[in-house]
Amino acid sequence: MKTAVIALGKIGLPLAVQFADSGHEVVGVDINPLQVSLINQAAEPFPGEAQLGEKLAEHVPSGRLRATTDYADAVPQADVVVVVVPLFVDEETWEPDFAWMDSATRSLAEHLSPGTLVSYETTLPVGTLRSRFVPVIEEISGLKESRDFFAVFSPERVLTGRVFEDLRKYPKLIGAISDAGAERAREFYESALTFDPRPDLPRPNGVWDLGSPEASELAKLAETTYRDVNIGLANEFALFAQDHGIDVYKVIEASNSQPYSHIHQPGIAVGGHCIPVYPRLYLSTHPEADTVRTARKLNASMPGRLVERAVSLLGELTGMRAVVLGASYRTGVKETAFSGVFAVVEELRRRGASVAVHDPYYTDDELTGFGWDPYAVGEPADLVVIQTNHPEYAELTSASVPGVKLVVDGRNITSSKDWPGIPRMVLGDGSATASEDASA
């Protein structure tokens, strides 16, 4: 099949490569000329995606994969158009911002050929494909869905850094408007993906048809919103345990030894493109979902809560130097999307501290570009806040930060033996909560 992939970001480009890997002729469309140029040189435009470099080096020179900024160069010849354009959420209103998605939809509709399957993989609020995008495509193209073209929602379910592994691991969900569209979608994804055996699943791993776009849209929102709500519950337990001299990690381990309990790990922040965003997409069509809203607000408040607890131990931070360890939202990736680093830095500055940031994945110039002072291990500081669980931070000791008065471990990766005599406040571990006079 000839396949067009719209948006060649950290999900779209690996998808395009996967389709080429399966023998498809793939043209990717992106509005960024630099991104397109790098891809056409078989150069990785971003670091950290396993196998991406090797696969680009194979498929670009062979002509199986190329990139363009021109929809007219990709869409008319395609049997399948896969849309992976980012969908943003307004930080104030929590309402979805469809600007980029709407623009991409209009552009592909202008060049759509009869018989094409259009698959949206970007996570969407329930009902968006049927009520928002299909009418636009029909109006602009003059084609009729289920007669002249077919629309399906098939959410991406992968993590950056391990996209190719996750594509094999998880069932590919599809939800089409018509039976004919579902059959076309199944044919495409079965030709483009291979699946690992999963004896733990109720049916064989592969393409799973959920019967409608709405069911498929909700499935993606549900699986991610579940994680946010679960983490919110874990954070509630962690805050309580910390105040009552209890180690919540032992509690969670004990609770999860029973097969009906699956409590996640607490943490100083929930970041990334997915978990902080998709509950708000769900809330945009179900505003009465109080459980979801409460968990999202709690998780968003965690950076401020931990800084407040640091202040209760140290006193006001005016004149102190604070170091935030970790800019990435999670270990192993160079990505700051919705990272807790932003809220932690803001809270520390609001309290009067001068703040420096360290991350092994970022250069000093890159950290400066975010508006932060870069920190080098070995420089003195009064307060250390561990925001990302990079393994490098588990190796640090009191000698790594001369003059440190308090360590706030938001990821439970430090050990008291490495920080002798230094008060530590570990989220959720009441037995490790700083009890010494931190202001001494």
Residues 171 and 312 in one domain: no
Residues 253 and 134 in one domain: no
Residues 377 and 389 in one domain: yes
Per residue in 188-199, pLDDT (tens digit) is 999 999 999 999
d(C-alpha 96, C-alpha 106), whole Å: 18
Residues 299 and 416 in one domain: yes
Average pLDDT for residues 55-82, to the nearest whole number? 97
Residues 328 and 366 in one domain: yes
Reported as type and span, the H/E element at residue 5 is strand 2-6
Average pLDDT for residues 215-240, to the nearest whole number? 98
Of 250, 274, 334, 417, catalytic: 274
Confidence of residue 437 (pLDDT cuts 50, 70, 90): very low
Which residue's entry shows tokens 């130097």? Answer: 321
Per residue in 72-81, pLDDT (tens digit) is 999 998 999 9
Residues 124 and 224 in one domain: no
Does the annotation mark 274 as catalytic? yes
- How many domains is the chain built from? 2
d(C-alpha 245, C-alpha 32), whole Å: 52
d(C-alpha 325, C-alpha 389), whole Å: 9
Residues 403 and 372 in one domain: yes
Give the pLDDT score at 332: 85
Residues 304 and 350 in one domain: yes
Give the pLDDT score at 439: 40
Give the pLDDT score at 92: 85
More confident residue, 417 or 439: 417
Does the annotation mark 2 as catalytic? no
> Residue 40 pLDDT > 90, yes or no?
yes
Q: Where among 159, 194, 210 does a domain terminate? A: 210
> Residue 438 pLDDT > 50, yes or no?
no
SS3 content of the chain, % helix, strand, coil (to 5): 40, 15, 45
Sign of the C-alpha dihedral computed for residues 302, 303, 308 and 312 taken in this order: positive
Residues 165 and 241 in one domain: no
Residue 260 tokens read as 């009906």
Give the pLDDT score at 91: 84
Residue 254 tokens read as 């004990």
Residues 56 and 150 in one domain: yes
Residues 253 and 202 in one domain: no
d(C-alpha 2, C-alpha 75), whole Å: 9
Domain containing 233: what range?
Answer: 212-440
Confidence of residue 434 (pLDDT cuts 50, 70, 90): low
Average pLDDT for residues 222-227, to the nearest whole number? 98
Average pLDDT for residues 106-113, to the nearest whole number? 98
Average pLDDT over all residues of the chain? 96
Residues 123 and 33 in one domain: yes
Of 172, 220, 297, 417, catalytic: 220
Average pLDDT for residues 386-415, to the nearest whole number? 97
d(C-alpha 65, C-alpha 72), whole Å: 16
Give the pLDDT score at 249: 97
Give the pLDDT score at 433: 64
Q: Where among 195, 210, 225 does a domain terminate? A: 210
> Residue 440 pLDDT > 50, yes or no?
no
Confidence of residue 436 (pLDDT cuts 50, 70, 90): very low
Per residue in 312-364, pLDDT (tens digit) is 999 999 999 999 999 999 998 899 999 999 999 999 999 999 999 999 999 99
Per residue in 371-399, pLDDT (tens digit) is 999 999 999 999 999 999 999 999 999 99
Q: Where among 152, 179, 210 does a domain terminate? A: 210
Domain harbouring 155, CATH code: 3.40.50.720
DSSP string of 33-89, one letter each residue: HHHHHHHHTT--SSS--TTHHHHHHHHHHHTSEEEES-GGGTSTT-SEEEE----EE
